[in-house]
């Protein structure tokens, strides 16, 4: 007889794990077939069938956990199969429920419509798919960093996620707002109880929410790609010492080290012997990576918010092509201005053009957003583990700066839009 028959805890663990997946699937199951979902909930026989299916899934998990005596294998499956699937279902739920969070605000209907319009565009899915493929392509590229290829690829993955969201957000804001103004459809919208302020802010909010969803899906993809890097190149596959009692050796992933290390004591040791705890430990390690990666993505998302706000503000007056060019200039000058300031401070005062370069560098440094604050490199390319609490405080500080600059850009956009003739 299998161990799953003699230990009821394994059966209960299997049923509990299956129940968690079922609860996470409820929102998107409702969206797929609303009438069938309501019929199932209100019909006792259908609910009994769901209960039997849940029991069968739980027993199947119990059989697998009972016959698989390798706790490390169970932990791996709990991390990259169970945890990854649960994370994906939660992202799909967020994708469905997120636009409803803005319905109650002024301009919420505009934001809801802009979100749905953005997510329905083929450009949204093409950029997302292209960024995913580019992330996996970077797995196979040799970086010749003498053991730090994993860190290099991780930084590239975060940059791809950020740049994909910026590309989509700037394009969507430039096209959506300028086309509605130039095509006179904004006049029809303004005839309803929607003023110019609600129109611009609603458009911005809907597009930014779509960029947020794209960023989170790319983060889910990046977690799998980072695992593939460690399997693809064995020099990066040394396990991090997540056991709190183990001596601290080389840390392959300093960004997720503290989060993974905090999960281990909850499950009693490096790898628990109980099968249910082994799977739960693996899922906990997955979501510990998710927490650390989400902090990094939110740091880059602040840059997305700023550039989309600038694109939305410029779209009230400028055409699509001019808007894209100016957003590119803001992006490059926002990175270049601090470098120019530092170089001109150390350059000779008698150099030809040094004064003009110093003046322009300081001017751009004051007016343009300080995009170097959103760099993930120092948090990834390091030897010592990253303190996630201090990093979270830094992310919140920079995110507050991005909200302030976004508000300024949108206020300028409202001033430009207020005197725009829509007739």
Residues 198 and 54 occupy one common structural domain: no
153-158, long-range: CB < 8 A, 24+ apart: 153/225, 153/226, 153/229, 154/222, 154/226, 154/229, 154/253, 154/255, 154/380, 155/376, 155/377, 155/380, 155/381, 157/222, 157/225, 157/226, 158/222, 158/296, 158/297, 158/300, 158/376, 158/380
Residues 118 and 45 occupy one common structural domain: no
Rounded mean pLDDT, 390-397: 92
Cα(167)–Cα(41) distance, rounded to whole angstroms? 42
Rounded mean pLDDT, 281-304: 90
Residues 117 and 32 occupy one common structural domain: no
Interval 193-230: pLDDT, tens: 667 788 888 899 999 999 999 999 999 999 999 888 87
pLDDT surpasses 90 at 165: yes
In order of 64, 75, 271, the CA distances from 70 in angstroms are 11, 9, 10
What integer pLDDT is reported at residue 308 of this predicted model? 95
pLDDT surpasses 80 at 307: yes
What integer pLDDT is reported at residue 245 of this predicted model? 41
pLDDT surpasses 80 at 330: yes
Q: Do 216 and 130 form a contact (C-beta atoms < 8 A)? A: no
As a whole number of Å, the CA-based R_g of the chain is: 25
Cα(10)–Cα(180) distance, rounded to whole angstroms? 59
Share of the chain above pLDDT 90, in %: 32
Q: Do 162 and 134 form a contact (C-beta atoms < 8 A)? A: no
Asked which of 153-157, 226-230, 296-300 is least confident by mean pLDDT, the reply is: 226-230
- Per-residue confidence at 237, pLDDT binned at 50, 70, 90? low
Residues 60 and 77 occupy one common structural domain: no
Residues 5 and 126 occupy one common structural domain: no
Residues 255 and 269 occupy one common structural domain: yes
Asked which of 2-6, 58-62, 76-80, 294-298 is least confident by mean pLDDT, the reply is: 2-6
Rounded mean pLDDT, 237-246: 49
- Per-residue confidence at 247, pLDDT binned at 50, 70, 90? very low
What integer pLDDT is reported at residue 320 of this predicted model? 86
Rounded mean pLDDT, 174-198: 71
The burial class, CB within 10 Å (0-12 / 13-18 / 19+), for 200 is: buried
Cα(281)–Cα(176) distance, rounded to whole angstroms? 45
Q: Quick check: is 168 in a domain?
A: yes
The domain total for the chain is 2
Residues 197 and 121 occupy one common structural domain: yes
Q: Do 278 and 71 form a contact (C-beta atoms < 8 A)? A: yes
Closest CA to 327 of 99, 177, 170, 131: 170
Q: Quick check: is 246 in a domain?
A: yes
Asked which of 59-63, 260-264, 333-337 is least confident by mean pLDDT, the reply is: 260-264
Q: Quick check: is 250 in a domain?
A: yes
- Per-residue confidence at 243, pLDDT binned at 50, 70, 90? very low
Q: Quick check: is 92 in a domain?
A: yes
Domain with 213, as residue range(s), is: 71-418
Domain boundary residue among 14, 32, 67? 67
Residues 250 and 224 occupy one common structural domain: yes
Domain boundary residue among 50, 67, 84? 67
Residues 248 and 210 occupy one common structural domain: yes
Cα(272)–Cα(169) distance, rounded to whole angstroms? 45
């Amino acid at each position: 007889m299998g161990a799953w028959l003699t230990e009821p805890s394994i059966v209960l663990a299997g049923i509990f794990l299956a129940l968690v997946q079922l609860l996470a699937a409820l929102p998107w199951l409702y969206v797929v077939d609303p009438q069938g979902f309501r019929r199932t909930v209100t019909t006792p026989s259908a609910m009994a069938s769901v209960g039997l299916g849940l029991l069968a899934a739980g027993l199947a998990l119990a059989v697998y956990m009972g016959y698989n005596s390798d706790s490390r294998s169970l932990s791996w499956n709990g991390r990259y199969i169970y945890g990854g699937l649960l994370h994906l279902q939660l992202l799909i739920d967020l994708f469905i429920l997120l636009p409803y969070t803005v319905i109650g605000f002024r301009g919420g209907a505009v934001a809801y419509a802009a979100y749905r319009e953005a997510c329905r565009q083929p450009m949204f899915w093409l950029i997302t798919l292209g960024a995913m493929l580019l992330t996996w392509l970077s797995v196979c590229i040799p970086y010749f960093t003498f053991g730090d290829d994993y860190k290099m690829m991780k930084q590239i993955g975060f940059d791809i996620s950020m740049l994909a969201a910026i590309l989509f957000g700037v394009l969507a804001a430039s096209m959506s707002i300028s086309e509605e103004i130039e095509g006179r459809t904004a006049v029809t919208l303004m005839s309803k109880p929607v003023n110019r302020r609600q129109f611009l802010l609603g458009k911005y909010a809907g597009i930014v929410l779509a960029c947020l969803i794209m960023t989170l899906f790319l983060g889910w993809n990046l977690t799998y790609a980072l695992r593939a890097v460690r399997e693809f190149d064995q020099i990066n596959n040394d396990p991090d010492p997540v056991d709190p009692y183990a001596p601290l050796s080389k840390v392959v992933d300093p960004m997720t080290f503290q989060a993974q290390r905090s999960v281990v004591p909850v499950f009693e040791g490096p790898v628990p012997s109980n099968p249910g705890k082994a799977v739960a430990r693996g899922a906990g390690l997955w979501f510990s990576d998710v927490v650390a990666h989400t902090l990094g993505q939110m740091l880059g998302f602040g840059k997305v918010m700023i550039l989309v706000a600038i694109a939305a503000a410029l779209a009230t007056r400028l055409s699509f092509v001019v808007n894209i060019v100016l957003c590119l200039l803001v992006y490059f000058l926002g990175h270049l201005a601090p470098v120019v300031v530092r170089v001109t401070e150390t350059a000779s005062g008698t150099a030809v053009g040094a004064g003009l370069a110093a003046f322009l560098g300081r001017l751009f440094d004051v007016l343009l957003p300080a995009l170097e604050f959103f760099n993930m490199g120092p948090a990834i390319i390091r030897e010592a583990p990253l303190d996630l609490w201090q990093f979270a405080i830094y992310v919140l500080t920079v995110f507050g700066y991005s909200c302030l600059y976004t508000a300024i850009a949108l206020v300028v956009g409202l001033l430009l839009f207020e005197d725009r003739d829509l007739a």
